[in-house]
Amino acid sequence: MDPVARNFVAASVIYFFLGVCLGMIMVFFGLEDHMQLRFAHSHLNLLGWVSMMIYGVGYHILPRFSGNPVAYPSFMAYHFWLANVSLLGLVSLWGYSQLLAGIFALMQVLATGLFVVNILASIRPAPHTD
Ligand code: HEM
Ligand code: HEM
């Protein structure tokens, strides 16, 4: 398994644990209506646990469906760092600093774009070798 794909899976399960811990804390302390905590909980789970599991498994599996390697392997590490730094920045600062949260949101969008371009290029039908 590619190290970046493995790192995405590892990051995903760590966000899963953080996300459910935060949900549990919200229930325990009656903080369901705390906007920043709800945002952090839902996005740690959805951009962290769910999306990063899809990135990791997707980089490993999706290109194989069409018999190609990942089209732009060098994009993967940029995607990993952009996605992680921006997620942590976003869940820490949304609701506190619109400017900084906006910058992290833009970084998250760029990270997503790197994934989309790479997967679209990777799932093109492989050239016939006969
Ligand atoms: C131990 C596990 C979990 C607990 C205790 C928990 C708890 C909570 C609580 C208390 C809220 C706020 C509800 C409200 O404001 O009405 C919430 C919202 C939410 N949770 Fe969880 N959660 C857990 C796991 C998950 C997981 C695994 C996911 C996603 C994969 C998830 C996704 C969401 C989303 C998207 C919201 C926002 C829903 C909305 O605003 O309508 N949660 N959760
Ligand atoms: C650049 C990435 C993203 C940004 C900047 C972003 C931003 C936001 C914002 C500002 C809200 C409103 C929060 C509130 O008013 O309480 C929100 C809500 C929500 N977003 Fe996202 N989002 C992003 C990606 C995603 C993705 C990929 C998913 C699902 C896979 C998602 C699922 C949700 C859900 C379920 C809610 C409603 C629950 C809540 O209030 O937290 N978001 N998002």
Average pLDDT across the chain, whole number:
95
Q: Where are the domains of the chain?
A: 3-122
> Is residue 14 over pLDDT 80?
yes
Range 44-67 average pLDDT:
94
> Is residue 129 over pLDDT 90?
no
The structure's pTM equals 0.95
Q: Which of 22, 29, 42 to mutate to test the pocket of ligand 1 (most atoms within 8 A of CB)?
A: 42
Range 79-93 average pLDDT:
98
Residue 67 Cα to ligand 2 midpoint, Å, equals: 35
- Write the DSSP assignment of 6-66 as a string of letters: HHHHHHHHHHHHHHHHHHHHHHHTT-TT-HHHHHHHHHIIIIIIIHHHHHHHHHHHHHHHT
- C-beta of 42 in contact with ligand 2 (< 6 A): yes
Q: Which ligand is nearest to the CA of 19?
A: 1
Report residue 92 as tokens.
């820490």
Chain segment 90-119, per-residue pLDDT in tens? 999 999 999 999 999 999 999 999 999 999
What is the share, in percent, of the chain residues with pLDDT greater than 90?
Answer: 88
pLDDT score recorded for residue 67? 86
> Is residue 4 over pLDDT 90?
yes
- C-beta of 45 in contact with ligand 1 (< 6 A): yes
